[in-house]
């Protein structure tokens, strides 16, 4: 009851109820839990109905959020060149519960905004309208995401590698400090003023 803001990084099956509970208590929420996107509209309606505040993101790392924007810009630049096949690889620690990662899904959404790949699928097989995402789980990997454009002539690749989890925590604290002065529903794009 004395908190200024709640930072919610739990599990997909408890995130929605946690967000609603904190909203009922009048507390702004910074949520980094992934795997509950299908309930985002319900949560949005609930928070708006209660005049609450939420920052949600699939990744709170400052570097990853810059990477998201770079990914969107590259997808827009590459859109006219259909000879390039787009694919993604993400690698995380073996305890990660969701696959692909929420970060990979956000990257896929950025690609779909500018290409004919309107959905994604797990694996490396090519499908005409779907982005292949190869999700690997390797012990002690903090998080690596690679987006590749491949043609018979050359490859173009962008990659983000997390060396520790400190970046996620720093981003969440920055979001918590920012959210206190705002009302509504936001993402890290808003917090970092990325256009």
- HSE-CB at 4 with a 13 A cutoff on CA atoms is 9
Provide the pLDDT for residue 95. Answer: 84
* Residues 31, 6: Cα–Cα separation, whole Å: 8
Query: Both tokens of residue 127?
Result: 């499908």
CB 88 within 8 A of CB 148: yes
* Residues 114, 118: Cα–Cα separation, whole Å: 9
- Kindly list the averaged pLDDT for each block of 10 residues, start to end, along the chain of length 195: 92 94 96 90 96 94 94 97 96 87 94 95 92 95 96 98 90 96 94 85
Provide the pLDDT for residue 195. Answer: 67
Provide the pLDDT for residue 152. Answer: 97
Catalytic residues: 92, 96
Provide the pLDDT for residue 30. Answer: 97
Provide the pLDDT for residue 88. Answer: 98
**H helical segments located in the chain:** 12-24, 40-49, 62-78, 102-112, 166-179, 188-191
Provide the pLDDT for residue 17. Answer: 97
């Amino acid at each position: 009851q004395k908190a200024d803001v709640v930072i919610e990084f739990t599990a997909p099956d408890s995130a929605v109820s946690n967000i609603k509970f904190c909203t009922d208590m009048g507390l702004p929420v910074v949520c980094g839990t992934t795997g509950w996107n299908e309930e985002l509209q319900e949560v949005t309606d609930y928070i708006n109905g209660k005049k609450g505040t939420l920052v949600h993101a699939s990744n709170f790392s400052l570097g990853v959020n810059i990477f998201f924007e770079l990914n969107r810009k590259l997808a827009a630049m590459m859109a006219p060149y259909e000879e390039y096949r787009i694919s993604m690889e993400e690698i995380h620690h073996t305890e990660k519960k969701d696959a692909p990662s929420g970060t990979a899904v956000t990257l896929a959404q950025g690609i779909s905004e500018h290409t004919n790949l309107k959905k994604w699928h797990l694996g490396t097989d090519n499908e005409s309208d779907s982005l292949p995402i190869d999700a690997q789980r390797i012990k002690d990997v903090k998080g690596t995401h690679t987006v590749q454009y491949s043609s018979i002539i050359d490859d173009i690749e962008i990659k983000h590698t997390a060396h520790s989890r400190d970046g996620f925590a720093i981003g969440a604290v920055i979001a918590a400090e920012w959210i206190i002065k705002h009302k509504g529903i936001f993402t890290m794009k808003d917090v970092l003023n990325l256009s």
